[in-house]
Amino acid sequence: MFLSCVCEADGRLNTGHAGVLLAERRGSYPLIDLRILKTSAQQGEVETVTRRKVKRLLSFQRYCHASRLLRGLVPHTPRSLHLLDDDYLGQAAHMLSKVGTWNFDIFLFDRLTNGNSLVTLMCHLFNVYDLIHHFQLDMVKLNRFLGMVQEDYHSQNPYHNAVHAADVTQAMYCYLKEPKLAEHLSPLDVFLGLMAAAAHDVDHPGVNQPFLIKTRHHLASLYQNTSVLESHHWRSTVGMLRESGLLSHLPADMSRDIEQRLGSLILATDINRQNEFLMTFREHLDNQDLDLQLASHRHFILQIALKCADICNPCRVWELSRQWSERVCEEFYRQGDLEKKFDLEISPLCNQQSDSVPAIQIGFISYIVEPLFEEWHRFTEPSLLSQTMLDHLHKNKANWSSLRCAHTPSDVQSHSQAEEPEGEVGEGSDIP
């Protein structure tokens, strides 16, 4: 029987029946549950699975090497190591020394770690916060858990892949460091914030909830058409936590509490609940009644921080922001192509012919991102980082506007003028 756990916008947990929580088995459902798609893709899929298994094995070996390097334990016997790997890992380690800066290039970091950005980043941050020692975590189990999470992201998704998860985790780290918040956070808050960020989209199929509902995907009926994807991300995370045994040494009520709070954080990323969270946040700020000594208020702010991290792409420097925008639109268009191919109605934003990247981005920024980040700016009173993010947001919005004009056929503005508006990764010394 499926038992629901509903999290309220103020952070309170409302567990369905007796607090029992079921975990989803890993790999329990096909990528997209349409038999028509499977027949043509079957052969390629088998090859992909084998390739992924080999890649995972290699990744683990690389990770073992990387973790030694990050702890400063690299043996001084260069002959036993591949020189090129050393060079890349040296650069990755150098990047990690600046992991708290807002212009951190996660795409570059992912290349330098050979596709292991999520595992490498999480291990580093767990060390920064001394979480391994604090929670007496077993390193082998932690590696197993993080490896599973990273692998269960679909690398063929242009947007919802492990690099997005690593990007959200890096943003979350920046928010956890905000002076307004940092001094109040307990090790458990930090642990939950990082874990939720890393796993918040795990096993994302690359299509949205309406697609799953109209194709009668079994997840849609399992979760009764509500927060279908987010519920799946959460339950899959719980499944991996239990499979890896990462929390098995903790008292049962504590690990149950961690699972529930992870759910409350991950479910908060459902964009359909944006207004509910935004209004509660605004109300707290208007009334000035947030008390970060209270665990429930800190949990609410972690929900908001994760929501911000999840949609912070337009607040990044243009060069990074543009890449994310193109990736997310590519994923939308792929869904639109599938819908067209199988005579389904094309979902909003998914029609490449009528929904341009600049138009999608301007709508997203105006209705979703700007309202949330203006409140976050207010919450931080304001911080240098939140000011930087708003500056990028406004610049990027203006860039998309000029690109939209450039792509309107009747417009006389030359394409080249608007092609590369401004800004490069790493520009400006004032970026925190």
Q: Residue 17 carries which side chain, given as an amino acid letter?
A: H
Hey, which residues between 36 and 75 contact Zn ion (CB under 5 A)? none
Does 167 contact Zn ion by CB under 5 A?
A: no
**Residue 201 is assigned to a ligand binding site:** yes
The amino acid occupying position 147 is G
160 carries an active-site annotation: yes
Residue 178 as a binder of Zn ion (CB under 5 A): the answer is no
> Which of 310, 331, 355, 375 touches Zn ion (CB under 5 A)?
310
Nearer to Zn ion, 240 or 268 (CB): 268
The site for Zn ion, by CB under 5 A, has a size of: 2
Compare residues 92 and 168 and give the one whose CB is closer to Zn ion: 168
CB of 339 to Zn ion, least distance (A): 22
Specify the stretch interacting with Zn ion by CB under 5 A; choose among 149-157, 193-201, 315-323, 419-427.
Answer: 193-201
- Is 160 among the annotated ligand-binding positions? yes
CB-nearer residue toward Zn ion: 269 or 383: 269
* 163 among annotated binding-site residues: yes
What the block records as the tokens of 199 is 């796993």
Least distance (Å) between residue 160 CB and Zn ion? 6
Contact call for residue 201 and Zn ion (CB under 5 A): yes
HEC per residue, 89-154: HHHHHHHHCCCCCCCCCHHHHHHHCCCCHHHHHHHHHHHHCCHHHHCCCCHHHHHHHHHHHHHHCC
Half-sphere exposure of 362 (CA within 13 A, CB side): 13
CA distance 125 to 432: 18
- Which of these is catalytic: 124, 154, 160, 233? 160
CA distances from 76 to 72, 81, 84 (A): 11, 10, 16
- Torsion, Cα 313 318 323 326, to 10 degrees, reads 80
Altogether, the residues listed in the chain come to a count of: 432
Q: Which two tokens stand for residue 242?
A: 């239990």
Residues noted as catalytic: 160
Binding residues: 160-164, 200-201, 310, 361
Residues forming contacts to Zn ion in the complex (CB under 5 A) are 201, 310
Binding residues for Zn(2+): 164, 200-201, 310
